């Protein structure tokens, strides 16, 4: 499919036609004899910075068809990082944002950057709508690498049936499962074609079916797995058969599913437990043992171990973490591979599963970006959970379109949307949006956590401010994340502790502690996610807490539905601290650009406030003009005197006259009183009438 796959041909002696290069041909990208593995030429790519240089070629593809990608590479001395493939799919031969339909990335093991020739190989199916693809070979690192003998080969035509399910490992409490299929239309359309949807057990006995379903672009049927999938951990085959008008079988596709116990440390509410108690994880990425002594300064209680193939190295990390009161997530993706690590998983899990510092197992990091398919992830999940019934698996996914697929292969799904990117800045509200998408993708059955952007390294040259980190952190919590993390603590050119962000993070620890308290012991009573402003309200004991977030770059307002007419409000985080009384059930809050404010609220009984106190508070809040407030105080003093003298009839008349007066629309029209204040005073006047009539 590729033209000039071995870079032998050139129209000008410099460029390998029709390959394009991110760095100039003849400069840092060269068609050269020193890069040849076979023939006379290959291509060399060289860079001194992490700019992911590449050569690419546009090729036609067929949607749904499966392709094998191959290329040979050899690193030179001093080269770092990994070589990689990438495919960008487009709806036509003019690549653009408008014609883009999806992409795929695959990274080779860094261990193969050893000066020897190695072949990269990956397999991928073109997504729906794809007609063309840009095929890339690239260097995700620095130094010089040679490429030669590239190939893209179609290995399978588009299948007529694609079977998928809403889960793969169904927890026992699930009472509904759905088998779905996408059917490619026969040449004459779907008329008179039928579909059988069936479920078979390990003995090939059909335990459930929905037969003779009219064929369509999408078909599906639901069943109760608790009733028909009676064997825990046993495989069941979800099967879809397409039949022609005469009943002959045209195609059959199968997907294996299971019923599997939850990890004992994750109950149905999704909050992970440690020693039988709920736990709010705060994770540190790239945290060597030398950092353990100070991680608690920013609230960290969990660390990521190193990806390794040494059980003793993992055990040492677990022991060190235990000494510092930290929990550990153990990665099983050494060299960014999964299937290749299956044998090590089988050895490591029995050896470490009873260690008191173990929190869970990391199957893969960003599997979609790293070109790891769901089947590999599911295989790792099955091995781990077969060996350890207690601890969960954990997986980070940075592609929201893959949340469902990745979420089916793990017990904990983690988002890591970093909005401040080298070549673009995404809206900061995408952080919360992605968490909500992730929760929806796992149907609320599994916990979702989030990793915050707290680094500056390589081409990622922007370090978020503490206000931006606070914004992202509170968005995470408000969106429903049950754990958060920091990426990263250290990297070759980065130290979080030595950055300007560290002092702010040490202060942010108090806010993380509050998130933990509200998640574990509070009750959320209200959530609003607006276009620019979002907020949530929690109750805990006799207090309320409100988190209000402005995700825009402009000043915004929010109205908080506290419920009670009067409150004592303390602004505890974000902006100027202070305590004041609010005499409105729905006070308005003004937020600066990207500001996040946290309030502690103590409801105040409305009856404890006199009419005079009410007017004074409204005046102090700017709800009543001072001249009008003085006039109202005069009227109230007369009413109070009449009530003291027992003149109920006259007092009633004065109160009714007061109500008519404050309802006068001209007062609001002149800006003397707000609508909220009018309503509040009417309620107070009504109380006085009820007192007289009692």
pLDDT in the model for residue 604: 76
Confidence band for 622, pLDDT divided at 50, 70 and 90? confident
| 228 and 84 assigned to the same domain | no
Q: Evaluate whether 447 touches 480 at the Cβ level (below 8 Å).
A: no
| 466 and 342 assigned to the same domain | yes
| 331 and 443 assigned to the same domain | yes
Asked if residue 613 is part of any domain, the answer here is yes
| 435 and 473 assigned to the same domain | yes
Give the model confidence (pLDDT) of 212-224 as tens digits. Answer: 999 999 999 999 9
Give the model confidence (pLDDT) of 633-680 as tens digits. Answer: 888 888 888 877 778 888 888 888 888 888 888 888 888 898 878 888
pLDDT in the model for residue 613: 74
Asked if residue 358 is part of any domain, the answer here is yes
pLDDT in the model for residue 654: 87
Range of the domain at 110: 20-155
Give the model confidence (pLDDT) of 57-111 as tens digits. Answer: 999 999 989 999 999 999 999 999 899 999 999 999 999 989 999 888 888 888 8
Confidence band for 605, pLDDT divided at 50, 70 and 90? low
The enclosing domain of 188 has a CATH number of: 2.60.40.1930
Q: CA triplet 524, 525, 527: central angle to 5 degrees?
A: 85
| CA–CA separation, 655 and 665 (whole Å) | 18
| 483 and 582 assigned to the same domain | no
| 354 and 502 assigned to the same domain | yes
In the predicted structure, residue 186 carries a pLDDT above the cut 70:
yes
List, in sequence order, every beta strand (DSSP E) within 464-577.
484-487, 490-491, 494-495, 523-529, 533-540, 543-550, 556-559, 566-573
In the predicted structure, residue 608 carries a pLDDT above the cut 70:
no
| 559 and 586 assigned to the same domain | yes
Q: What is the mean pLDDT of residues 563-589?
A: 83
The DSSP string of 621-661 is TTSB-HHHHHHHHHHHHHHHHHHHTT-HHHHHHHHHHHHHH
| CA–CA separation, 73 and 109 (whole Å) | 12
pLDDT in the model for residue 583: 64
Asked if residue 452 is part of any domain, the answer here is yes
| Boundary-marking domain end, from 563, 578, 606 | 606
pLDDT in the model for residue 312: 97
| 150 and 165 assigned to the same domain | no
The enclosing domain of 432 has a CATH number of: 3.20.20.80
The percentage of the chain sitting over the pLDDT mark of 70, rounded to a whole number, equals 99
The enclosing domain of 79 has a CATH number of: 2.60.120.260
Kindly report the length of the chain: 694
Residue bearing tokens 């030429």: 41
Q: What is the mean pLDDT of residues 448-470?
A: 95
pTM here?
Answer: 0.81
Structural domain tally of the chain?
Answer: 5
The enclosing domain of 596 has a CATH number of: 2.60.40.1180
Asked if residue 337 is part of any domain, the answer here is yes
The closest alpha carbon to 262, from 393, 351, 402, belongs to 393
| 142 and 166 assigned to the same domain | no
In the predicted structure, residue 607 carries a pLDDT above the cut 50:
no
Asked if residue 14 is part of any domain, the answer here is no
Give the model confidence (pLDDT) of 124-134 as tens digits. Answer: 999 889 999 99
Which region among 167-171, 528-532, 646-650 has the lowest average model confidence (pLDDT)?
Answer: 646-650
Across the chain, what does the average pLDDT equal? 93
| 426 and 392 assigned to the same domain | yes
Nearest 10 degrees: Cα torsion 449, 453, 458, 463: -170
| Boundary-marking domain end, from 90, 124, 155 | 155
Between 211 and 370, where is the model more confident?
211
Asked if residue 174 is part of any domain, the answer here is yes
Asked if residue 149 is part of any domain, the answer here is yes
pLDDT in the model for residue 645: 79
| 215 and 127 assigned to the same domain | no
| CA–CA separation, 210 and 229 (whole Å) | 16
| 365 and 435 assigned to the same domain | yes
In the predicted structure, residue 135 carries a pLDDT above the cut 90:
yes
| Boundary-marking domain end, from 259, 288, 321 | 259
In the predicted structure, residue 629 carries a pLDDT above the cut 90:
no
pLDDT in the model for residue 694: 65
List, in sequence order, every beta strand (DSSP E) within 160-288.
161-165, 169-170, 177-183, 194-200, 206-214, 218-223, 236-243, 249-259, 273-274, 277-278, 282-284
Asked if residue 1 is part of any domain, the answer here is no
In the predicted structure, residue 260 carries a pLDDT above the cut 90:
yes
pLDDT in the model for residue 580: 78
């Amino acid at each position: 499919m590729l033209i000039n796959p071995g870079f032998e041909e050139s129209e000008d002696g410099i460029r390998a036609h029709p390959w394009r290069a991110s760095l100039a041909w003849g400069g840092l990208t060269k068609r050269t004899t020193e890069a040849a593995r076979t023939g006379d030429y290959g291509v060399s790519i060289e860079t001194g910075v992490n700019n992911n240089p590449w050569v690419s070629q546009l090729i036609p593809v067929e949607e749904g068809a499966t392709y094998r990608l191959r290329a040979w590479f050899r690193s030179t001395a001093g080269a770092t990082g990994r070589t990689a493939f990438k495919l960008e799919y487009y709806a036509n031969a003019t690549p653009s944002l408008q014609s883009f339909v999806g992409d795929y990335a695959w990274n080779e093991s860094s261990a193969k950057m050893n000066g020897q020739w190695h072949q990269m190989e990956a397999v991928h199916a073109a997504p729906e709508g794809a007609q063309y693809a840009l095929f890339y070979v690239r260097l995700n690192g620095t130094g010089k690498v040679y490429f030669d003998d590239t190939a893209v080969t179609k290995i399978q035509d588009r299948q007529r049936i694609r079977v998928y399910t809403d889960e793969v490992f169904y927890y026992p409490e699930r009472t509904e499962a759905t088998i779905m299929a996408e059917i490619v239309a026969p040449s004459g359309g779907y008329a008179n074609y039928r579909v059988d949807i069936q479920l078979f057990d390990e003995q090939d006995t059909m335990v459930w079916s929905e037969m003779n379903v009219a064929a369509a672009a999408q078909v599906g049927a639901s069943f109760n797995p608790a009733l028909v999938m009676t064997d825990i951990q046993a495989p069941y085959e979800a099967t879809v058969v397409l039949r022609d008008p005469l009943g002959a079988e045209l195609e059959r596709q199968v997907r294996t599913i299971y019923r599997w116990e939850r990890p004992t440390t994750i109950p149905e509410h999704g909050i992970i437990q440690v020693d039988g108690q709920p736990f709010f994880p705060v994770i540190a990425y790239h945290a060597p043992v030398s950092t353990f002594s100070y991680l608690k300064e920013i609230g960290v209680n969990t660390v990521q171990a190193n990806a390794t193939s040494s059980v003793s190295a993992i055990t040492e990390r677990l022991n060190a973490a235990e000494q510092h009161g930290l929990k550990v997530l153990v990665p099983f993706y050494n060299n960014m591979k999964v299937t290749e690590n299956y044998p090590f998983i089988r050895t490591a899990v029995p050896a470490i599963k009873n260690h008191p510092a173990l929190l869970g197992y990391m199957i893969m990091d960003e599997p979609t970006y790293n070109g790891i398919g769901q089947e590999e992830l599911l295989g790792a999940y099955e091995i781990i959970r077969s060996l350890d019934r207690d601890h969960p698996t954990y997986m980070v996914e940075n592609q929201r379109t893959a949340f469902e697929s990745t979420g089916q292969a793990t017990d904990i799904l983690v988002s890591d949307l970093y909005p401040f990117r080298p070549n673009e800045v995404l809206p900061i509200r995408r952080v919360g949006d992605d968490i909500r998408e992730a929760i929806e993708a796992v149907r609320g059955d599994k916990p979702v956590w989030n990793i915050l952007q707290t680094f500056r390294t390589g081409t990622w040259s922007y370090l978020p401010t503490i206000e931006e980190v606070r914004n992202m952190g509170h968005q995470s919590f408000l969106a429903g994340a049950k754990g958060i993390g920091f990426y990263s603590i250290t990297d070759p050119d980065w130290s979080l502790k030595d950055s300007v962000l560290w002092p702010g993070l040490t202060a942010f620890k108090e806010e993380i502690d509050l998130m933990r308290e509200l998640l574990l012991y509070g009750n959320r009573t209200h959530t609003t996610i607006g276009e620019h402003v979002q907020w949530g309200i929690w109750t805990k004991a006799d207090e309320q807490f409100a988190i209000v977030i402005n995700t825009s770059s402009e000043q915004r307002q929010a109205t908080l539905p506290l419920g009670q007419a009067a409150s004592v409000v303390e602004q505890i985080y974000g902006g100027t601290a202070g305590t004041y009384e609010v005499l409105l059930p729905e006070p308005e809050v003004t937020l600066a650009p990207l500001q996040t404010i946290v309030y502690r609220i103590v409801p105040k009984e409305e009856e404890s406030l006199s009419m005079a106190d009410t007017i004074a508070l409204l005046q102090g809040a700017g709800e009543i003009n001072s001249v009008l407030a003085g006039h109202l105080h005069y009227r109230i003093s007369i009413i109070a005197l009449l009530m003291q003298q027992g003149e109920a009839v006259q007092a009633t008349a004065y109160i009714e006259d007061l109500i008519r007066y404050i309802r006068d629309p001209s007062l609001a029209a002149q800006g003397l009183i707000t609508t909220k204040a009018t309503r509040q005073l009417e309620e107070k006047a009504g109380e006085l009438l009820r007192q007289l009539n009692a």
